[in-house]
Amino acid sequence: MNVICCLKQVPNTAEVKIDPETNTLIRAGVESITNPYDTVALEAGLIIKDKYGGTVTAISMGPPQAEEILREAIALGADEGILLSDRAFAGADTLATSYTLAKAIQQLERPAPVDLVLCGKQAIDGDTAQVGPGIATRLGYGQFTYVAEIREIDEAKRRITVKRKVEGGFEVIRGPLPAVLTVELDLAKPRRASLPRLIYSLRTGITLWNAETIHGDPQRLGLKGSPTWVKKIFSPPLKQGGPVFDARKEPRRAVEDCLNILLADEMFAWHFLKRWER
């Protein structure tokens, strides 16, 4: 199996806080990490390699700094790390991102056909979940989003069976390879790097590709190839809260007062007392 894992370096958004005084982001000390969903995608790739043999290639589009996450991927067991880095890629929205990644995957198809492309369900910073389906569409590969389990890979028939989360339940679906999967967090639990691999990863070079290497059309890369532009930002408006009743002294009184406010709206009270019947 020839597996490609798409990894994105993201700021650890759990640490990004907002300064209430100035309404700006507090960036100091926020570390960059591999998108948590992508560590699961990588783990899934490594499990497939353990089971069926083959190679796992990790690719990432980003600034030179993103090399770190590819080195980490190698420490965990990826065979190669390819960094797509070029000023021409900067400012890409999801359309341009999926174009760039798809072009890179086409390069990787040359020596040997690709079987699987594994992506995270979404990146925790951009949070659009649009890149995976974009890659599948551009390459004409099968598309399986929200994958919670890889049930079976039939190498002879070139078929994959996965379980995916859908509205109201799960679906088990089987389709031809090559395919793009976007994975849920519960698909696999990422392993830890072994010491020898860790040392190996520090000595291994990361392959660097630019716009020329992937034969990218300059009009379709980065900001130029991006139809969507962020035009402005603002803080979410704060709503004004209603009265707060102190239940620490007279609890029943507070509860009564609160319910009176609630049911003062006649339409609402009517619906409520009818227990929401139509």
Partner 1 sequence: MAKNLKGIEVAEIISDKCIGCQICVAECPVGAIEMKGGVACIDPEICIGCGKCFEVCPVEAVRFEKERREDAVTKPEETQKDIYADYRGVAVFIEVWNGGGASVSWELTGKARELAGKLQTKVIGLLAGHEVDGVAGEAIAYGCDEVHIIDDPLLKVYLSRSYGKALSDLCQKVKPEIVLVGATPVGRDLASVVATTIGTGLTADCTGLDIDEEKRLLLMTRPTFGGNIMATIFCEHHRPQMSTVRPKVFALCPRDEGRKGDVHRYPLEPPHGELPEIVEFVRHVADEGTADITRFPALVVAGKGACDPESAPMLQELADVVGGVVACSRPVVEAGFMPYERQVGQTGKTVAPKLYFAIGVSGAVQHLVGMQGSEKIVAVNSDPSAPIFNIATAGILGDYRQVVPLLIEELRKKLKGG
Ligand X SMILES: Cc1cc2nc3c(=O)[nH]c(=O)nc-3n(C[C@H](O)[C@H](O)[C@H](O)COP(=O)(O)OP(=O)(O)OC[C@H]3O[C@@H](n4cnc5c(N)ncnc54)[C@H](O)[C@@H]3O)c2cc1C
Per CB under 6 A, residues contacting ligand X are 6-8, 13-14, 35, 37-38, 41, 60-62, 92-95, 97, 101, 119-120, 122-123, 125-132, 228, 230
For residue 105, give Cα distances in angstroms to 33, 119, 146: 23, 13, 21
With CB cut-offs between 5 and 8 Å by kind, which of partner 1, ligand X, none does residue 239 bind? partner 1
In whole angstroms, what separates CA 150 from the centre of its chain?
Answer: 18
Residues whose CB is less than 8 angstroms from the CB of residue 260 and which lie 6 or more positions away in sequence, other chains included: none
Considering the rule CB under 8 A, would residue 146 count as an interface residue with partner 1?
A: yes
Radius of gyration (C-alpha) of the chain in whole angstroms: 24
Distance CA 140, CA 162 (A): 19
60 touches which of ligand X, partner 1, none (CB within 5 to 8 A by kind)? ligand X
Taking CB under 8 A as the criterion, the residue among 7, 38, 56, 62 binding partner 1 is 62
Rounded to a whole number of angstroms, the minimum distance from the CB of residue 182 to ligand X is 6
Determine if 278 is a binding residue for partner 1 (CB under 8 A): no
Residue 128's Cβ-side half-sphere holds a number of Cα atoms within 13 Å equal to 12
| Site for partner 1 contains 134 (CB under 8 A) | yes
> From the list 49, 93, 104, 118, which residue makes contact with partner 1 (rule: CB under 8 A)?
93
CA–CA separation, 44 and 10 (whole Å):
20
Q: How far is the CB of 194 from partner 1 (least distance, A)?
A: 28
Closer Cβ to ligand X, 13 or 260, answer by number: 13
Among 4, 142, 188, 214, binds partner 1 (CB under 8 A): 142
The dihedral region occupied by 80, where left means phi > 0, alpha psi between -120 and 50, and beta the remainder, is beta
By CB under 8 A, is residue 7 in contact with partner 1?
no
The contacts of residue 10 (CB under 8 Å, 6+ apart) are 32, 33, 34, 35, 123, 124, 125
The residue among 93 and 153 lying less far from ligand X, judged by its C-beta, is: 93
Which of 54, 138, 193, 208 contacts partner 1 by CB under 8 A?
A: 138
Q: Binding to partner 1 by residue 149, rule CB under 8 A?
A: no
Here's the x/- map for partner 1, 11-40, by CB under 8 A: it reads as: x-xx-xxxx--x-xxxx--xxx--------
Residue 94: which H helix or E strand, with range? helix 94-109
Q: How far is the CB of 155 from ligand X (least distance, A)?
A: 24
Burial 198-219, CB ≥16 within 10 A → b, else e: eeebeebebeebebeebebeee
> Residue 38 or 80: which CB sits closer to partner 1?
38
Residue-level length of the chain: 278
> Which residues in 218-247 contact partner 1 (CB under 8 A)?
222-224, 226-236, 238-247
Distance between CA atoms of residues 123 and 128, nearest Å = 7
